[in-house]
Structure 1
Amino acid sequence: MPARLNELPRLLAADELKPVWLIAGAEHLQVMEAADALRARCRELGYSEREIHDVDAKFDWNELAMSGAAMSLFATRRMIELRMPTGKPGKAGSAAISEWCSNPPPDTLLLITAQEWSKSHEGAWTRSVDQVGVAMAVWPLKRDEFPSWINARMKSRGLKATRDAVELLAERVEGNLLAAAQEIDKLSLLVGQATLDADMLEASVADDARFDVFRLTDAAIAGDASRALRMVGGLKAEGAEPIPLVGWLLSQLRVLVRLAGAGGNLNQAFKNERIWDAKQAGFKRALRAGDAAHWERCIVQAGLIDRISKGRAGGDAWREIERLIAAIASPRAGADLFGKQS
């Protein structure tokens, strides 16, 4: 049976971990933190080697088999990660993962993570994972579950808050767990042992003049190119790392692709994506301005930026981010922007 996120502490408390793990879902913060918890437990149990494979359309699935057959350099336990953003390994990948699950290498743990997930992703390979290991789908929180998540998160950070403050923060971040987590971490430092009430939260929000990735993306999707580009400049000036920004941009671009494919049932698509009423106008503008093919090209550009940021491709990551933001805000100029070179 597929595992639930709330079962993770029990699963990680075992003396021996299952040999194969799948952690997948569009709720990136929860997927990331679940994977981090697994990595931490692996380190405790002596998995001192770590190997990472980024799976894209050109990935050679023979690499997985070769990794399984390779001996550890230091006779230690190994953790092998498959980062598969789309959650779709294809025919060759499905066969490779199923083959791995049929005979997992000793002293090796395979972690597969995916940033997109739905019932349609399930198949023979996920059943293979479930039979030998842990298949964990992280489903987005429903709107009425969000305040409870915020309250629990606050308590875990030692922050006491009134119900009104919790509700106000839920309204402010509009279902964005990454934004909520960011605000909670900041508030835990500012408030200390005091009880956070709505007035204190409101004052904190009013004083928060940071350029952040959530506002930047909202501005770009809404077509406000000048404001979004000023925010890019602010993030760069503050010494921000481009990788988290690119990760969030990728998630929103994938949302745009899914919305573009929703046809006439856009209201249901907004509900499925948990896009709150206040943000729907921006997404509708973006969908009118650019088609699915444009948003796919933006995803390709984001992938290039990710490689540049990780030293796997040449170029100026911040310059390419500026081009991507301009293309999101002004789709008609997108092709020309991506065609230029630094």
Structure 2
Amino acid sequence: MARINPRQLSQNLRQGLAPIYVVTGDEPLLIQECCDDIREAARNHGFNERDLLHGEHNFDWGLLLSAAGSLSLFADKKIIELRLPGGKPGDKGSKALQEFAANANDETLLLLVLPKLDRAQLNSKWIKALEAKGVLIQIWPVDASEMPRWIHQRLRAANLDAEPEAIQILAERVEGNLLAASQEIEKLKLLAQDSVISADTMNNAVASSARYDVFGLIDKALAADAAGAVKTLQGLRAEGVEAPVVLWAIAREIRTLLETQQKLEEGQPINRLVRIQKRQPLIQSACQRLRPRQLENFLLRARAVDNAIKGGKEMDPWAGLLELTLNLSGKRSI
């Protein structure tokens, strides 16, 4: 039916519900907000029952088709939310998703959440089948040049405004972390004395953030300062920072390193790949120290930590974050 971006979703939902929504990308905040909007629209159309499925390794794809065929006596419409963190359903999953699409109806809504898909995945039979019956929402990262505009839009949505210098201060502070930016804006709603945030107000607000921040953790790990990185991780936990925020930052950096390694091998200069000058030597040294195979293994471990955070595995998420921190610092886990 349609392939849209998050900004187009509200208008799309007002035009009526599709039986299938596929949300794909690597920005947790935007994924969460898109899913919230879809769930709310579905509830407004009488979808009062919800099944949540996690498509991890060895997932029983019969559960998807079974959930589609079992409606409660008290709810005539159901949302089936399927999270597929690996992004690849395999042969069985591909067949199950195609069968679901072939039998799509107005009584069951599928919300499929996936990481960013590559071109081959977007052209796969199962994606084509789902897209033919539903809506695919592609979520792209907000890069450094777009961040001030994104922050300004968020401030306006919160009935606030800010001086250009204040917006730039916040953009530099959050360094691409949309979740952190959103949290800072929520704080500004409480701190702001008037509707226009000055540079001084912004400076004071961001200066009062946690002494141990996730960006300090990443920089210490990239610099191979394992002791400093672990100390920062412990500080983050002590100050009440949520595990998903830390995991987001670590996983994002691992993906960035993989992409940067590939482009460096193609001959692209580091100053074109890393916009913030002070981070260029950190990224370059980490790319030389860590091999692609290692980074791919780190991403697999990050998915295991994500599963633990959601309660799907017998593991302490913070122990998993400690292991990832040591790995990114170039140290073997204890």
**Separation in structure 2 between the aligned mates of residue 268 and residue 96 of structure 1, nearest angstrom:** 44
Distance apart, 1:20 and its partner CA? 0.1
Aligned pair in 2 of structure 1 residues 88, 259: CA closer, same or farther (>3 Å)?
farther
SS of structure 2 residue aligned to 1:304 = helix
SS of structure 1 residue aligned to 2:219 = helix
The question of whether the paired residues in 2 share the 8 Å contact of 1:3 and 1:136 is answered with yes
SS of structure 2 residue aligned to 1:18 = coil
Q: How many residues get paired? A: 332
Aligned pair in 2 of structure 1 residues 223, 158: CA closer, same or farther (>3 Å)?
farther
User: Are residue 30 (structure 1) and residue 24 (structure 2) matched?
Assistant: no
The question of whether the paired residues in 2 share the 8 Å contact of 1:80 and 1:111 is answered with yes
The question of whether the paired residues in 1 share the 8 Å contact of 2:101 and 2:133 is answered with yes
The question of whether the paired residues in 1 share the 8 Å contact of 2:71 and 2:78 is answered with no
Instruction: Determine the structure 2 residue equivalent to 1:198.
Output: 199
User: Are residue 222 (structure 1) and residue 223 (structure 2) matched?
Assistant: yes
Aligned ranges 1:26-105 → 2 under 5 Å: 26-72=26-72, 74-105=74-105
User: Are residue 148 (structure 1) and residue 134 (structure 2) matched?
Assistant: no
The question of whether the paired residues in 1 share the 8 Å contact of 2:270 and 2:280 is answered with no
**Separation in structure 1 between the aligned mates of residue 276 and residue 73 of structure 2, nearest angstrom:** 50
Aligned pair in 2 of structure 1 residues 142, 295: CA closer, same or farther (>3 Å)?
closer
Provide TM-score, normalisation by structure 1: 0.85
**Separation in structure 2 between the aligned mates of residue 194 and residue 100 of structure 1, nearest angstrom:** 49
**Separation in structure 1 between the aligned mates of residue 270 and residue 62 of structure 2, nearest angstrom:** 37
Identity within the alignment, %? 32
Distance apart, 1:95 and its partner CA? 2.7
Q: Which amino acid aligns with 1:59?
A: F
Distance apart, 1:266 and its partner CA? 6.6
Instruction: Determine the structure 1 residue equivalent to 2:233.
Output: 232
SS of structure 2 residue aligned to 1:47 = coil
Distance apart, 1:153 and its partner CA? 0.3
Aligned pair in 2 of structure 1 residues 61, 305: CA closer, same or farther (>3 Å)?
same
Distance apart, 1:263 and its partner CA? 5.8
Distance apart, 1:275 and its partner CA? 6.2
SS of structure 1 residue aligned to 2:146 = helix
More moved, 122-131 vs 65-74: 65-74
Unaligned runs of 5+ in 2: none
What RMSD, in angstroms, separates the aligned Cα atoms of the two structures?
2.7
SS of structure 2 residue aligned to 1:168 = helix
More moved, 76-85 vs 66-75: 66-75
The question of whether the paired residues in 2 share the 8 Å contact of 1:20 and 1:133 is answered with yes
The question of whether the paired residues in 2 share the 8 Å contact of 1:97 and 1:125 is answered with yes
Alignment deviations for residues 66-86 of structure 1 (CA, whole Å, 9 cap, x no partner): 222233363332111121234
The question of whether the paired residues in 1 share the 8 Å contact of 2:47 and 2:75 is answered with no
**Separation in structure 1 between the aligned mates of residue 198 and residue 299 of structure 2, nearest angstrom:** 40
Unaligned runs of 5+ in 1: none
Instruction: Determine the structure 2 residue equivalent to 1:175.
Output: 176
**Separation in structure 2 between the aligned mates of residue 61 and residue 243 of structure 1, nearest angstrom:** 27
Q: Which amino acid aligns with 1:182?
A: Q
